[in-house]
Structures are given as C-alpha cells and as structure tokens.
Amino acid sequence: MVPLENADLDQVELSAKNFSLALCQASLFTPDEEISTAKITKSLLPKWLERFDADPMLLPYEHGMPRELPRIILKSKTDAWRCDIASSRINLIWQQPRIAVPAPTLESFYVEAVTFLTEYASLLECRVGRIAAIIHRYARHDNPGRMLASHFCRDRWLDKPLNRPENFELHAHKRFSLRGQFEVNSWVRNKTGSWSQGEERNPIVLVEQDLNTLSEEADKRSYGEQEIRNFFAFAASEFETILKIYYPKE
C-alpha cells in the first residue's frame, strides 16, 4: 500500500494499492460471560505485558452495569495497540497513532490477535457466540467527495446534483458464505474524511470494511479455537479481495 505521504494527490481515480491501513480490529462476542477482573489481571496481564505495556485501566463492577461496558482497558505506550474487555465481548485493536508507526499486515495482525483472543477464551472457558473483523483504510486525495461521486455514479449525475460534493458516502451490505464455513454479514463503507499527521490535516477517502458472523445465531453457536483461527485468516484475505473489487487496478 502507498504511504500517506507518498500518495499521488493529482490522480482522479484510486486503486486498492493506494490505500494504507488505519485500523484493524478483532472481536469475540461472549454472550454468557461475566468476567473476573482478578482472574484476568493475575493470569493474562503478565503474559500480555510485552504488547500492552501501558498501565491498565480497571473499572470496578457496579450492580446494573451494562455488559457491553469495558471493565478492563489495556494499551501500548505507543497508543497503537488496545484491548477492551467487557463481559459481552473482547476487542483487540491496532490503530495508527498520530505519530505514524509501521502498520502490520492484515495477516500478521490477525495471527497475533488470535493468540490473545484464544488465550482469553481458554482461560475463562467462555462460549464464543459471534466473531467480527473490522478494518479501516485511507488514501489521500485533494477532492475526495468528487472522486467518490465520479467513481461510483454514472456521468448523468455528475453534472447535477453531484458536480461538487464536499462530502460523499456509499454504504453496501450483503450476506454470503465465507469459504463455505461461516455465514457472514459484509459491510463496506466508502466516505470522505480527514487525516491528521502532526499539525496537518489532509482530505482522504476512507474505506471501512466489516465481516461478522450473524447476530441471530449468537445464542446457539459456540465457536472453537480452530474456527476462530480460520475466520480471521479467511477475513484477512477476503478484505483484500473486496477492496480490489471496489477499487480495481487500472
């Protein structure tokens, strides 16, 4: 992928190779779990210290607390890595910090994420009812609204009303079988945005991709370790395929 500072700002069209990684997320949904902060801090945090080396944030339990609210938040000192642990789910996230650092590949991120997520699920012996993978990618462009409008719309709409949009969004959702093993929702969101690098803000095209197993199956599914590994390996590859469909190589 082309780094932000090297992107060709004069090109009218963008292709998949022009996008850089802004965020990766891996999530497991644990619908039956009530987490034990003491158990996690004693057993997992020492093993995860090399990756999450900033001071952990621990939220004490209060009666009636929403299960979706993170009870434990782990971060790296670079602010690039984060882990949010709530009773209903665990999210492991890599996000490009304000000071640019080398981004992982999708494959390497999800391989590492699976290690943390399966260790967590094994320790708590919790049922995993749903899995999700999310990535955000961006590409600099001087006129992202016009670029997206011309990329996705017929010429008849580009004179009016889409002749000079300041902002533009296109969201698409479909459901399909991922490698014949997982029924998934696939969301792709293409939209304008801005990216901060130091004190400078640059206009960008932002592509958000989301693959997740079906919410209506969460109460009856129980994904094992190998299924979790397979899902994220398949998702990493599928994300690349989908991006190339939306932004094909010229």
Question: Once rounded to an integer, what is the mean pLDDT over residues 89-118?
Answer: 93
| CB atoms closer than 10 angstroms to residue 225 | 14
Nearest CA among 69, 117, 71 for reference residue 93:
117
> Are residues 130 and 29 in contact, defined by beta-carbon separation less than 8 angstroms?
yes
Q: Residue-wise over 125-134: b if at least 16 C-beta within 10 A, else e?
A: ebbbbbbbbb
Q: Mean pLDDT across the stretch 218-244?
A: 97
> Which stretch of 35-39, 143-147, 165-169, 192-196 has the lowest confidence by average pLDDT?
165-169
The pLDDT > 70 percentage for the chain reads 88
Least confident of 72-86, 93-107, 150-164, 209-223: 150-164
**83: Cβ contacts below 8 Å, ≥ 6 apart:** 48, 52, 72, 73, 74, 75, 90, 91, 92, 93, 116
pLDDT of residue 153: 74
pLDDT in tens, 199-213: 778 899 999 999 999
Strand order in the sheet with 130-140: 57-58, 72-75, 81-85, 89-95, 20-29, 130-140, 200-213, 182-197, 169-178
Give the model's pLDDT for residue 22: 95
- What's the pLDDT score for residue 89? 97
- DSSP label of 154: -
pLDDT at 163: 57
Average pLDDT over residues 115-132: 96
**pLDDT higher than threshold 50 for residue 223:** yes
pLDDT category at 94 given cuts 50, 70, 90 is very high
Q: Which two tokens stand for residue 229?
A: 């590994």
Q: What is the pLDDT of residue 98?
A: 74
Quickly count: other Cβ atoms within 10 Å of residue 24's Cβ: 26
Residue 3's pLDDT band (boundaries 50, 70, 90)?
very low
In angstroms, the CA 140 to CA 127 distance is 41
Q: What average pLDDT does range 35-54 have in this prediction?
A: 93
The per-residue pLDDT of the chain, averaged, comes to 89
- pLDDT at 198 (0 to 100): 66
Entry pTM: 0.89
Distance from the Cα of residue 85 to its chain's centroid: 16
Digit-coded pLDDT (tens) for 124-169:
999 999 999 999 999 999 989 888 888 887 665 555 655 566 677 8
Query: What pLDDT does residue 2 have?
Result: 42
